[in-house]
Amino acid sequence: MFKKLFRKLGKKSEEKKDEGQEEIVDSGVEETPREEAAKVDISEMPDGSEAEVQKESEQEAKQEIEQKEYAAEIPKEHEAIEEIQPEEENVQVEEEQEEAEEPVEEVQEEEEEKPSKFNLFARLKEGLSKTKKGITERIDTVLKSYGKVDEELFEELEEVLITSDMGFETTMKIIESLKDRVKRNKVTEASDVRDELKEVLVEMLSADEDKKLIEGTPAIILVIGVNGVGKTTTIGKMANRFKGEGKKVLIAAGDTFRAAAIDQLEVWAERAGVDIVSHSEGADPGAVIFDAVQAAKSRKADVLICDTAGRLHNKKNLMNELGKIFKIVDREYPDAHREVLLVVDATTGQNAVQQAKVFNEVADITGIVLTKLDGTAKGGVIFAVKSEIEVPVKLIGVGEKVDDLQDFDARSFVDALFE
């Protein structure tokens, strides 16, 4: 645009030179002082000043054009600014709305998390569904078939309990206690016997109940039980639980006899994000526990969880192995709070009772872990194990998920069976 203007001004100046400096015709428009100064006769100027005048006139024209263009662009810029401002306001409004909505989303997420943390009873009911069909539904069928309480009713209930893997001796204890409560509370209707039976079962499971898994830190947990009952899985879930509570956890792979036991524990340790002490397969279990205790002390671990071998084919060897481990713990870690947890498989029924008896003879068991309750109708074995060895049940497994290893509560367990 400027180049074209310069060309026109150049052509005009050349024409003025050829025509002998013609006079500028007055157009009748009022001229500014600047325009009047530009009309000074070129012929009256000294030599060399003509080019300077031309240059000055070109510069002035250029400045005027720039001023006009700048004045024309200002409204456009204002319009653009006005167009941008609403967008910026919209963005700010959207950001404020998002900020206002974020707390709502967080609350919703917390509400979604609550079932996984606080709806343990629902999971327990789901996990005990097969046991409920094997025990409670059969009990309800018997009670509905009787109107009044009599000896025959108790015999029917006795049969149901024995065939639900509660065992003969345990069933006799339950029936005797039930008769005493029915007589004491003057119960005459068969339908009311159900509530009395619930209380008897709660009392049996609540005896010597100790809900604390560990009393304090540092703590060492020795996990015992036969192969295949779920020791490795139980250790992994406990490690994950303690780690979630902010404790520093160490695992000892003391079962060096079972193939793949060490590899499985290493997988669980990695999943839980905890350290593990292990030797090669076939190594001395006592040496593994010794090294693990030293590592726990040097690393200031809060909880040391030790796996042990579970061979029952030779009771003497089992006693020797566990006895050696206990001596090492007594000598090397005397200040640690000790737990000896026996893991039994609910699906094995009365075999779980026999296993509990054998291990109770060779170890000072402080708690029972009953696994695989979700996969069996033989959940009544928990009453038999508790009654036979008189050791509190501390943990139960009602599913495959990490948080399906729950603290045992007698009242919640019985309520889940009867609801």
Question: 359-384 pLDDT, tens per residue?
Answer: 888 888 999 998 887 776 677 888 88
Could you tell me the pLDDT band of residue 60, with boundaries at 50, 70 and 90? low
Query: Looking at the 3D structure of the chain, how many domains does it have?
Result: 3
| DSSP β-ladder status, 337-345 and 249-252 | unpaired
Is 308 labeled as ligand-binding?
Answer: yes
Is 326 a residue whose pLDDT tops 50? yes
- Asked if residue 101 is part of any domain, the answer here is no
Average pLDDT of span 12-22:
46
**pLDDT for res 72:** 53
Residue 74 is assigned to a structural domain of this protein: yes
SS3 222: strand
Tell me if 411 is assigned to some domain: no
Same domain, 252 and 352: yes
Q: Is residue 311 marked as binding?
A: yes
| From 97-106, 172-181, 404-413, the region with the lowest mean pLDDT | 97-106
Whether residues 156 and 58 share a domain: the answer is no
310 is in an annotated binding site: yes
The annotation status of 307 as a binding-site residue, yes or no, is yes
Q: Are residues 81 and 196 in the same domain?
A: no
In the numeric block, the tokens 């007698």 are attached to: 410
Query: Binding site annotation covers 227?
Result: yes
| Residue range 215-245, pLDDT digits in tens | 788 999 999 988 888 899 999 999 999 999 9
Task: Say which CATH number the domain at 279 has.
Answer: 3.40.50.300
- 166: containing domain: 127-206
Average pLDDT over residues 402-409: 82
Same domain (yes/no): 193, 250:
no
DSSP string, 35-98: HHHHTS-GGGSPTTHHHHHHHHHHHHHHHHHHHHHHHHHHHHHHHHHHHHHHHHHHHHHHHHHH
Residue 95 has pLDDT above 50, yes or no: no
What would the mean pLDDT of 177-197 be, rounded to a whole number?
90
Q: Is residue 200 part of a domain?
A: yes
Please state, rounded to an integer, the average pLDDT across all residues of the chain.
Answer: 75
183-192 contacts: CB < 8 A, separation 24 or more? 187/149, 188/148, 188/149, 189/147, 189/148, 189/149, 190/143, 190/144, 190/146, 190/147, 190/148, 190/149, 190/153, 191/143, 191/144
Is 236 annotated for ligand binding?
A: no
Q: Please give the helix or strand (H or E) that residue 341 lies within, else none.
A: strand 337-345
Identify the pLDDT of residue 12: 47
- Domain termination residue (choose one: 365, 385, 404): 365
Same domain? For 137 and 191 the reply is yes
> Percent of the chain at pLDDT above 70?
68
228 and 356, same domain (yes or no): yes
Together in a domain, 194 and 153: yes
Q: Are residues 167 and 70 in the same domain?
A: no
Tell whether residue 372 is among the known ligand binding residues. yes
Residue 390 reports pLDDT greater than 60: yes
Binding residue per annotation — 254? no
What local confidence, expressed as pLDDT, does residue 68 receive?
A: 56
Sequence-distant (6+) residues with CB within 8 A of 107 are none
% of the chain at pLDDT higher than 90: 26
Tell me: is residue 327 an annotated ligand-binding position: no
Q: Answer yes or no: is 309 a known binding residue.
A: yes
Q: What's the pLDDT at 7?
A: 54
199 found inside a domain: yes
373 in a known ligand binding site: yes
Query: What's the CA dihedral at 24, 29, 32, 35 to 10 degrees?
Result: -20
Whole-number pLDDT of residue 288? 93
Q: Is 39 a domain residue? A: no
Q: What is the pLDDT, as a whole number, of residue 59?
A: 65
Mean pLDDT of the 26-38 span: 43
Burial status of residue 199 (CB atoms within 10 A of its CB: 0-12, 13-18, 19 or more): middle
Q: Is the pLDDT of residue 386 over 60?
A: yes
The CATH number of whichever domain residue 169 belongs to comes to 1.20.120.140
| Calpha distance 28→8 (Å, rounded) | 23
pLDDT of residue 206 exceeding 50: yes
Same domain, 201 and 253: no
Assess whether 139 and 60 both reside in one domain.
no
Residues 179 and 61 in one domain: no
The predicted-structure confidence for 42-58, as pLDDT tens digits, reads as follows 444 444 444 554 656 66
231 annotated as a binding-site residue? yes
Mean pLDDT of 342-346: 89
Is the pLDDT at 413 greater than 80? The verdict is yes
Count of residues in the chain: 419
Q: In this structure, are residues 304 and 221 in contact, taking their beta carbons and an 8 Å threshold?
A: yes
Collect all residues with Cβ–Cβ distance below 8 Å to 155 and sequence separation of at least 6.
none
Please state the φ and ψ torsions of residue 310, each to the nearest 5 degrees: -130, 60
Q: Are 282 and 352 members of one domain?
A: yes
pLDDT of residue 57: 60
Residue 176 lies in a domain: yes
Identify whether 334 is part of a domain. yes
Average the pLDDT over each of 50-59, 133-142, 195-204, 233-242 and give the range with the smallest value.
Answer: 50-59
Show the 3-state SS of 232-258.
HHHHHHHHHHHHHCCCCEEEECCCCCC
Q: Please say which residue of 183, 206, 229 terminates a domain.
A: 206
Does residue 371 have a known ligand-binding role? yes
Could you say which of 89, 113, 142 is where a domain stops? 89
Give the pLDDT confidence of 256-315 residue by residue, as tens digits: 888 788 899 999 999 889 999 999 888 889 999 999 999 999 999 999 999 988 766 566
